[in-house]
């Protein structure tokens, strides 16, 4: 498969063990801002925008999870980072699992936040493609209207999330929907992951119910589950202290291993 990485927009804070935080759909790197202040004196925190999101470019009609993983590898090359801890939120978690498959030796640790290994059901795939077609016709307001209430149960986050989604380029949203629809099941790859892995779940998450995270943690060899009682699908915004603690645990493990 031919992979042409694009140059990702990113922000960077702090020094030390590289910790790359990858946002979910249809968002951008700014969702991680609440945890940055808690992490930047302990690690080199890098926040990319995935292709077609935030200020990152797009050059394909389908943003496959593999292509997005290649973009992360190219970003690491550009920053002269051989190995990093990767944390992926939801769609960002699908990207992390693809990265782990292709570049296992470039990982120091993994955080899988409100995400899953399973592929889409046929019904879900069709719904994504229908949404992509609707976004093409009507723009991102199609997802900006309904999505915030599915992402969080915290009323003060609804408006900021809506504004963030409305800023997202329509083509990026369409390409990611198609990419998620065609992503393969990653379940069989899980046993190949040998780095410490924090599986972080919001107990109130209705998009990725916490039971799915529990199963994900059980299928991994070196994983532990962090279930956050008050959080739903956006734990890094809803419960930043708990999320930062889990990420710092990975940083500590990476330092003691290195
Ligand atoms: C996300 O938060 O990235 C998406 O909800 C993931 C998905 O739709 O599968």
Beta bridge pairs of residue 11:
47
Q: Are 140 and 26 spatial neighbours (Cβ–Cβ below 8 Å)?
A: yes
Instruction: Write the pLDDT tens digit of every residue in 1-41.
Output: 567 899 999 999 999 999 999 999 999 999 999 999 999 99
CA distance 43 to 45: 6
Candidate from 90, 181, 184, 202 with most ligand 1 atoms within 8 A of CB, to mutate: 90
Where along the chain do its domains lie?
10-257
Ligand 1 atom with the shortest distance to the CA of 233 = 2
Q: Are 104 and 194 spatial neighbours (Cβ–Cβ below 8 Å)?
A: yes
Candidate from 22, 25, 205, 213 with most ligand 1 atoms within 8 A of CB, to mutate: 25
Place of tokens 């998009």: 207
In the chain, % of residues over pLDDT 90: 97
**Beta-carbon-side half-sphere exposure of residue 228 (alpha carbons within 13 Å):** 25
Instruction: Write the pLDDT tens digit of every residue in 77-96.
Output: 999 999 999 999 999 999 99
Ligand 1 atom with the shortest distance to the CA of 89 = 3
Instruction: Write the pLDDT tens digit of every residue in 164-206.
Output: 999 999 999 999 999 999 999 999 999 999 999 999 999 999 9
The CATH class, in words, for 10-257 is alpha beta
Q: Measured in angstroms, how far is the CA atom of residue 252 from the centroid of ligand 1?
A: 29
Candidate from 91, 128, 208 with most ligand 1 atoms within 8 A of CB, to mutate: 91
Ligand 1 atom with the shortest distance to the CA of 90 = 3
Q: Measured in angstroms, how far is the CA atom of residue 221 from the centroid of ligand 1?
A: 24
Instruction: Write the pLDDT tens digit of every residue in 113-167.
Output: 999 999 999 999 999 999 999 999 999 999 999 999 999 999 999 999 999 999 9
CA distance 39 to 17: 11
Please check the confidence at residue 57 and state whether its pLDDT lies above 80.
yes
Ligand 1 atom with the shortest distance to the CA of 128 = 8
**Beta-carbon-side half-sphere exposure of residue 29 (alpha carbons within 13 Å):** 20
Q: Where does the pLDDT of residue 258 fall: very low under 50, low under 70, confident under 90, or very high at 90 and above?
A: confident
Q: Which two tokens stand for residue 184?
A: 């393969």
Q: Which two tokens stand for residue 183?
A: 């992503």
Ligand 1: lining residues by beta carbon, under 6 Å = 24-25, 90-91, 180, 207
CA distance 111 to 168: 25
Place of tokens 């976004």: 135
Place of tokens 């990420």: 247
Q: Measured in angstroms, how far is the CA atom of residue 179 from the centroid of ligand 1?
A: 11
- Residue of the nearest CA to atom 4 in ligand 1? 25
Nearest 10 degrees: Cα torsion 151, 153, 159, 161: -20
Strand order in the sheet with 84-89: 10-13, 44-48, 18-22, 84-89, 107-113, 197-202, 223-228
Residues whose CB is less than 8 angstroms from the CB of residue 245 and which lie 6 or more positions away in sequence, other chains included:
none
Q: Measured in angstroms, how far is the CA atom of residue 126 from the centroid of ligand 1?
A: 15
CA distance 35 to 247: 9
């Amino acid at each position: 498969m031919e992979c042409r990485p694009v140059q990702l927009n990113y922000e960077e804070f702090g020094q030390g063990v590289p910790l790359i935080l990858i946002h979910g759909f249809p968002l951008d790197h700014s969702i991680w801002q609440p945890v940055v202040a808690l992490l930047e004196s302990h690690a080199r925190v890098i926040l990319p925008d995935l292709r077609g999101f935030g200020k990152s470019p797009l050059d394909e009609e389908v943003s496959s999870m593999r292509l997005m993983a290649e973009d992360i590898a190219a970003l690491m090359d550009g920053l002269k980072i051989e190995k990093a801890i990767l944390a992926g939120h939801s769609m960002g978690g699908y990207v992390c699992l693809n990265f782990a498959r292709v570049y296992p030796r470039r990982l120091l640790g993994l955080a899988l936040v409100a995400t899953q290994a399973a592929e889409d059901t046929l019904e879900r795939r069709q719904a994504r493609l229908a949404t992509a077609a609707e976004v093409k016709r009507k723009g991102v307001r199609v997802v900006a209207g309904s999505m915030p209430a599915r992402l969080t149960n915290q009323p003060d986050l609804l408006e900021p999330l809506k504004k963030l989604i409305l800023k997202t380029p329509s083509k990026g949203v369409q390409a990611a929907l198609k990419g998620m629809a065609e992503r393969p099941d990653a379940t069989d790859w899980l046993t190949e992951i040998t780095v410490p892995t924090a599986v972080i779940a919001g107990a109130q998450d209705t998009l990725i119910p916490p039971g799915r995270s529990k199963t994900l943690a059980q299928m991994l060899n070196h994983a532990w589950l962090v279930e956050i009682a008050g959080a739903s699908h956006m734990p890094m915004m809803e419960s930043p202290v708990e999320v930062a603690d889990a990420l710092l645990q990975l940083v500590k493990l990476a330092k003691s291993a290195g």
